[in-house]
Each structure stands twice: as C-alpha cells, then as structure tokens.
C-alpha cells in the first residue's frame, strides 16, 4: 500500500468520511434482509458499519490493522454483526458465498495485473443471484466489465458508468 492508511486510521476517526450515498441507496433498493456482505478494503467501516446497522452480516477485510480495530470496536459497542480481517486482498480467499461483494475504491491501488487477478478471485465468492458492487476509477471499469462478460457464469450488468459497476450474478 503506497499510502499509509494504517497511520491515518490510527490518528483520525472516520477518516474517509461517510458511506457513498449511491452505494447505500442501491443496496437499500435491493430490499435484502440479513444479507451476507463482503466489504473489500473496508478501512474503518465506512460502508460496513451502516450496512450492519441495516441488519446485514458483514465481513470486512483491509490491510490496515488500525482500520479493522476501529471498525470492530465500533461494531462491538453497538452490538453489530461485523467480522474484521486484516488481510492483503491480493492473497485473501473469502470463505463461503456472499449475497453482496462490495469493493469501494480499493482495486485502483493495485497494478493492472494484480488488479485483474484479484478481481477474478473475489467475484468467485458472489452467491448465485448475488450482487457485485464496485466503485473505482472510471478507466478501470471496462476491464472489470470484460472480465464479467467472459466469466463462465452469466452476469447481468445493471450499471457500468461514472466509476460505478453494479452487476448481478446469474442463478444456478
């Protein structure tokens, strides 16, 4: 990680601000109850905490131990269903299937080859009929879309524009 997010998270609560409104609205519009969500690059829980407050079971992974510690402390204080793991996303293997895979402004920090490999490894954990939600650099979206279109599983792309990719995995 080129920027020291661990230092930032250790020095400032909620350093990256509030949950992205567009992501929050999209997930709320899915009307899922108690969804199992994987938040990749969760930091201090910008997305994970509000999702857990909405009744979802959230697993967050991040390379910064202080971010995971802050997220888990806040979740514990509120009695929220959040599990945090300190992990390098390029080496992380999710356990089980998730109703939502959320990758909010994380993949752009990787070079092209590790970004592509990590994306492919992560999308495998999306449950049939589950959702992939990616916020990233607009320039990276065509590669993500192409990966979905060539995947052995059918994906329905709901949105691929302005730094956002929302896609649903075909059911089996």
Question: pLDDT per residue over 63-101, tens digit each?
Answer: 999 999 999 999 999 999 999 999 999 999 999 999 999
Q: Collapsing DSSP states into helix, strand and coil, what is residue 106?
A: coil
17 band by pLDDT with thresholds 50, 70 and 90? confident
Strand order in the sheet with 155-161: 82-86, 57-62, 36-40, 98-104, 126-135, 164-169, 155-161
Sequence-separated (6 or more) residues with CB below 8 Å from residue 156: 167, 168, 170
User: Whole-angstrom Cα distance, residue 106 to residue 43?
Assistant: 10
In the predicted model, is pLDDT for residue 2 greater than 70?
no
Segment among 6-20, 28-42, 80-94, 153-167 with least mean pLDDT: 6-20
pLDDT, residue 7, reads: 92
In the predicted model, is pLDDT for residue 172 greater than 70?
no
Domain 5-169 fold = Rossmann fold (3.40.50)
49 band by pLDDT with thresholds 50, 70 and 90? very high
Residues in the chain: 172
Interval 132-167: pLDDT, tens: 999 999 999 999 999 999 998 999 999 999 999 999
Interval 93-135: pLDDT, tens: 999 999 999 999 999 999 999 999 999 999 999 999 999 999 9
Q: β-pairing, 126-135 with 36-40?
A: unpaired
1 band by pLDDT with thresholds 50, 70 and 90? very low
């Amino acid at each position: 990680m080129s920027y020291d997010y661990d230092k930032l998270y250790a020095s400032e609560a909620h350093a990256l601000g509030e949950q992205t409104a567009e992501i929050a609205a999209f997930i709320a519009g899915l009307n899922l109850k108690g969804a199992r969500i994987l938040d990749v690059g969760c930091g201090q829980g910008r997305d994970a905490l509000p999702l857990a407050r909405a009744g979802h079971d959230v697993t967050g992974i991040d390379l910064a131990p202080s971010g995971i510690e802050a997220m888990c402390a806040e979740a514990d204080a509120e009695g929220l269903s959040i599990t945090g793991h300190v992990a390098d996303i390029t080496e992380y293997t999710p356990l089980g299937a998730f109703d939502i895979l959320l990758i909010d402004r994380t993949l752009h920090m990787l070079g092209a080859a590790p970004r592509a490999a990590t994306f492919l490894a992560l999308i495998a954990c999306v449950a049939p009929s589950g959702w992939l939600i990616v916020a990233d650099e607009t320039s990276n979206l065509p590669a993500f879309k192409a990966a979905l279109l060539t995947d052995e599983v059918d994906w329905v792309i709901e949105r691929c524009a302005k730094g956002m990719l929302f896609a649903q995995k075909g059911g089996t």
